[in-house]
């Protein structure tokens, strides 16, 4: 079964649109995930998940958009970042082309949180208002972390960027790209007196979380916000298989939704 959009002829696409008007658009990023992981963790997850879900469901999949909004990681070599405006404009025009072809339901498989707000959610609302398209934004690493937290059996540092479960999933998908001899966990820097820092943009004052965006290197000089030493290939396999199962079930359910939704009275 061919599901990659670029492998189909236009006549095949036209025929298939008579029975299904759903398409998957994967998005990744190139940014630091520690000295032990490749910079393409987000891209590689989006590419793999869309391939496996497309293969399971038959829903067409576009080529993965490789770059994202990664300004906080810009000082790390290998990071490629684009502005929110550039990404929004690019994805907007691509989606309008898909809608013009006849697709009415778009599922964004976004493996990078910086792409989700405000870019993809704002864009999804606009496409709904202007074209009646129904868009879903799925944050792949967020889903992996939710699955990992359900499985957690021991206390320790919270899941985080470049730590675990990121490293576990990479050990499963691309073990040849992960160097566990360079994996280490260090507590996050606490650069602001009186505030507890839990991420480069999340802090707490008197126990209440708030947002004060910082550069990643101010909080985590290695680019790692979690503990990669707890990673394992087996854990990554288990989490990834559950992720694909969830995504496939959602994609099929979403594809079967009625296009028109009634307005509230």
Cα separation, 98 vs 101, in Å, equals 5
Q: pLDDT tens for residues 79-101? A: 999 999 999 999 999 999 999 99
Closest CA to 229 of 186, 200, 189: 186
Burial of 198 (0-12, 13-18, 19+ CB in 10 A): middle
Does pLDDT of 260 surpass 70?
A: no
Q: What angle do CA 229, 237, 79 make, to 5 degrees?
A: 60
Q: What angle do CA 99, 102, 103 make, to 5 degrees?
A: 60
Q: What angle do CA 116, 118, 123 make, to 5 degrees?
A: 85
For 5-153+239-255, CATH number out of 3.60.130.10, 3.40.190.10, 3.40.50.10310, 3.90.1720.10 equals: 3.40.50.10310
Cα separation, 61 vs 146, in Å, equals 25
Residues in the chain, total:
265
Identify whether 165 is preceded by a cis peptide bond (ω within 30 of 0).
Answer: yes
Token pair of 170 as six digits: 């990479």
pLDDT confidence tier of residue 264, bands split at 50, 70 and 90:
very low
Q: pLDDT tens for residues 16-53? A: 999 999 999 999 999 999 999 999 999 999 999 999 99
Does pLDDT of 60 surpass 80?
A: yes
Average pLDDT in the chain: 92
């Amino acid at each position: 079964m061919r599901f990659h959009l670029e492998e189909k002829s236009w006549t095949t696409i036209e025929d298939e649109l008579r029975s299904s008007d759903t398409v998957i658009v994967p998005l990744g990023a190139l940014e630091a995930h520690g000295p032990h992981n490749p910079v393409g963790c987000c891209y590689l997850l989006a590419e793999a998940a869309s391939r496996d879900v497309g293969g399971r469901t038959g829903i067409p999949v576009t080529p993965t958009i490789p770059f994202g909004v990664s300004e906080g990681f810009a000082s790390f070599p290998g990071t490629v970042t684009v502005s929110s405006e550039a990404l929004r404009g690019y994805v907007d025009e691509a989606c309008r082309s898909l809608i013009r072809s006849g697709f009415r339901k778009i599922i964004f498989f976004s493996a990078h949180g910086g792409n989700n707000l405000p870019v993809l959610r704002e864009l999804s609302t606009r496409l709904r208002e202007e074209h009646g398209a129904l868009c879903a934004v799925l944050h792949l690493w967020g889903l992996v972390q939710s699955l990992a937290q359900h499985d957690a059996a021991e206390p320790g540092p919270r899941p985080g960027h470049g730590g675990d479960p990121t490293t576990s999933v990479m050990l499963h998908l691309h073990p040849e790209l992960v160097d566990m001899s360079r994996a280490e966990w260090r507590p996050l820097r606490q650069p602001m007196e009186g505030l507890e820092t839990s991420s480069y943009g999340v802090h707490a004052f008197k126990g209440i979380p708030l947002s004060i965006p910082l550069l990643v290197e101010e909080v985590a000089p290695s680019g790692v916000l979690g503990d990669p030493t707890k990673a394992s290939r087996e854990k990554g396999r288990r989490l990834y298989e559950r992720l694909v199962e969830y995504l496939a079930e959602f994609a099929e359910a979403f594809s079967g939704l009625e296009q028109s939704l009634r307005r509230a009275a």
